[in-house]
Each structure stands twice: as C-alpha cells, then as structure tokens.
Amino acid sequence: MINMKFKISAPSKASFKVFKSKSGARKTVLQNAVNSVKTRKALYLSNRSCLHTLRRTTYSGVQSAALEHCYDSSTNALVEIKVSLIKNIKTQNEYLLSKCPYCLVREPSTWDHYLPKAKYPEYSVFSPNLIRVCDVCNRKKSDGLVQNTKEAIHTYFDKLPNTELLVCDVTLDNANIPIMNFNVPNPTNNTQITLVQNHFNAFDLAETYIDYAKDYLSVLLQEFANKFPTGITAQIYKQELIFIHNQIPMNRGYNYWQAALLKGLARNLNLVSVINNLQCVHSNNWKRV
Ligand SMILES: [Zn+2]
C-alpha cells in the first residue's frame, strides 16, 4: 500500500501511437474510434479521484476486440509506454522496481489495468491506467475491485495520508509462540482510511504479512538471542527494535509491514523472556529477510 505521482508527458499521444502501429481492418477500426477514445481518456483524468464511479461506454464487439488487442499484442509503441512507466517509477521510488505497490512484499512482474480492459477496452494502453504489480495481486484484482466501491488504491491518483495506518498487534499463545495480527483501525470511519482498509482486505494483506512476518520474526528473535547471550533487558529490547525501525528507508512509505511489526514487538515486553529462553546459536547463516 503505497502511492506515487504520475509524471508522464502526453500519455494520450503515446497510446495513439499503438493505434497507428496496427495494420489492415484493425487499424481502420481503431482510427474510427480515436475521437471517442480521446473523450474517454479526458473523462478518466477528470474523474481520477473517483474512477470507481466512471460508467462504461458502449463499443461494438469488433471495436472492443481491436482496443483490447492493442495491449494483448506486443508492439514497439506499447513497449515504449511500459518503458516510460518504469522510468517514472525509477525516478520517484526505485524501491517499487522490486516491490509491487499493492502489497509491498512481492516482485512486480505484470501490469494491472486499474479499470479492467475487458470492461474498459479504451484504456487498454492508456498509461495512467497501467500499474506495474505482482502476479498475485493482479489475479486477486482481476476484473473487479473498482466497481461502485473502490477497493484498490490507484497508485498514481489516490493520495494516502502521511501517517502510519497499519498496525500489528503481537501477543503470545499458551506455548509462548508469537501471534501477529495486522490491521488498519478506523474508529472514526475516515474516508481515506476506509480506502486503505478496503485495499488491505481485498488483497488479503493480513494473511500475506503474517506469512512474511513469521520468517522475519524467527530470525530477528534468534539474532537478539545471539547478540545478548547473557540475556536482554526490556529496555535494550525496545532500543534495539527502535534502532532497526529507524533504519527502514522512507521509500517504503508509511504503511510498511516490517515497520508495523517492529512497533508491535516493542509494545509487547513479554517477548523478552521468549528471547532469553532461546539457545544462542552461532552461525553465519542468520540473515534478516
Ligand atoms: Zn502485489
């Protein structure tokens, strides 16, 4: 869950280059649709904050197929659009070259059509509608999540508040095994936080973060046990966690799961006895994920 600005000049012109690169009957169909697509692109941009309310328009089967084909078939013009989008990511937040902006845990490997091309074929190669994400998030979103209720954050157009909304509560079960619960509290039903909550739930981020956090936590606790073989105090435990938290680069945004986890750990001092009961293991293989 992170956002960035869309900074690409003349995004409309770029997609019309794809139209021009086609040949035969398909090219004619696309050229006849240019004015309609221009109007639709302007509508997209003027409705950027409420795209979930943007009504579909009617295209014939032939037009829809030609518009979708602009994305489904690779052309140099389409590659140019993707390259400029990747350049936009690199310029603003290089971290997002290696992490999907929807989940911040997996590597982006595909492009999400924020408004799905099956329903909005006119935006199939419209760069503001293309977001580089991981395969899992793309499948979860599929053709949904932006109809009537916005359940997916638009990376370019939804500005997230600069506050930490993601919380991780850490408790211990009867066997002293840490239990983590990631959540996004919203006691006042704030609209911006509701969007973050919707996104968090739609992409199953609670379960995803727990999966990643389990490995991270087991390594972290063992590192503490190794570093403090005679035992760690509650004060040092908190200081160590704050130190690690403060090392997290700002380009992870305000809702990075590791940051929420470290804060949650710092709130539960019962973890100190868990660490002090671990065997000190000397190994060069311990490395935090
Ligand atoms: Zn993802």
CA of 201 to the centre of ligand 1 (A): 13
CA of 104 to the centre of ligand 1 (A): 6
- Cα distance from N-terminal residue to C-terminal residue, the chain: 19
Residues whose CB is less than 8 angstroms from the CB of residue 120 and which lie 6 or more positions away in sequence, other chains included: 40, 54, 56, 113, 129
pLDDT of residue 143: 77
What is the longest distance spanned by two Cα atoms in the chain?
A: 78
pLDDT along the chain (289 residues), means of 10: 78 83 89 94 94 92 94 91 93 93 96 95 96 96 78 92 94 94 95 93 96 95 92 95 95 94 96 88 55
CA of 18 to the centre of ligand 1 (A): 27
Report how far residue 137's alpha carbon sits from residue 135's, in angstroms, rounded to the nearest whole number: 6
CA of 152 to the centre of ligand 1 (A): 11
CA of 284 to the centre of ligand 1 (A): 31
**So where are the chain's domains?**
11-141, 167-276
